[in-house]
Amino acid sequence: MSIGEKRTLNAYYKRRFYRGRTAFARAADFIALRVILLIACYLWFSFNVESIIAAAVLTAAAVGAISVFAELVKSVRLEKFILRENARLSKKLFSESLVLMPRSEFLGIVREYIKRHGKEFAGESLVYTAQTLSPVDEETVLCACRAANRRGCKSLFIFSSASVSQPARDIAARYDGLSVAFISGDMLASCAKMPDDNAVRQYILKQAEQKKQIKKQSVSTAIGRGRCARYLLVAAALFALSFFVSYTLYYRMLAGACVSLAALSFYAAHSPSAAPKDA
């Protein structure tokens, strides 16, 4: 794994761990908390120690010890979070693979589940499968229950690759004389090979690359071809309006920004990389 890929993975885990806070926000919080801690410790030691030098030394030692302990706790929490996040993404990838895998492979997982839980399927029961992307709805439950009634079954097991909607569960509970059980994709995970950590890492890297491409496309659209004349037109309109409004400076600053965007658009349209290449 390259250094760039490791940085991408670490950035993803930290962003999820800190609930979307950027590196700048985390650095600002780090500095602010250390400053508050430093002031609090110094005030405490200055009131309890006569020597100012001793108070400063004790303050530095206390802040350093607390910071090291906090970083150790944070690293342990981050490692545990990475394990939980990998498990969550592994389940997500498995749920997606249930929908995309061939029908025969999906039925193989169902058979393996029935083999491991044979006692639950004893008696007159019907197994109904729904390999769909959307959650199991009322219509699917109605079709399965009607099929079970036609065969005279007393119990019905609906295997689904997705979750089960609440209206579908409500419909199943209304059927008299028929026991309906739902086995969703999460329950089937124990009978199949889950995506490993390498598959999870590749998924994270792929998502990061897609986001990067979207950002590049948005920037290229803003300063793409044909935008130069529009920016100049807006700049001229803002400059003309600046003579009739009170906030003259702001309008002219915006006009200057539009001229800068027009220059970038002109450069992007006439740069060597934008020129068409001969086949």
Q: How many domains does the chain have?
A: 3
Same domain, 81 and 118: no
Using an 8 Å Cβ cutoff, are 185 and 160 in contact? yes
**Which tops the pLDDT comparison, 137 or 228?**
137
Helix axes 52-100, 197-222, angle to 10 degrees: 100
pLDDT of residue 261: 86
- What's the mean pLDDT in 68-75? 95
Which residues are paired to 136 by β-bridges?
Answer: 164
What is the DSSP code (8-state) at residue 184?
-
Same domain, 131 and 56: no
Residue that has been written with the tokens 């005030």 in this structure: 43
Question: How does residue 89 score in pLDDT terms, banded at 50, 70 and 90?
Answer: very high
Instruction: Please say if the pLDDT value at position 109 is more than 70.
Output: yes
Instruction: Please say if the pLDDT value at position 279 is more than 60.
Output: no
CA distance 106 to 129: 9
40: containing domain: 3-87
Same domain, 116 and 178: yes
Alpha carbon 185 to chain centroid, angstroms: 20
Instruction: Please say if the pLDDT value at position 146 is more than 80.
Output: yes
CA distance 24 to 20: 11
Same domain, 59 and 128: no
Same domain, 118 and 163: yes
Residue 135 within any structural domain of the chain: yes
- Burial label for 3, CB within 10 Å (0-12, 13-18, 19+), is exposed
Residue 200 within any structural domain of the chain: no
Instruction: Please say if the pLDDT value at position 277 is more than 50.
Output: no
- What's the mean pLDDT in 139-147? 92
Using a cut of 0.85, tell me whether the model's pTM lies above it: no
Q: Which of 4-13, 61-70, 218-227 has the lowest mean pLDDT?
A: 218-227
- What's the mean pLDDT in 196-204? 92
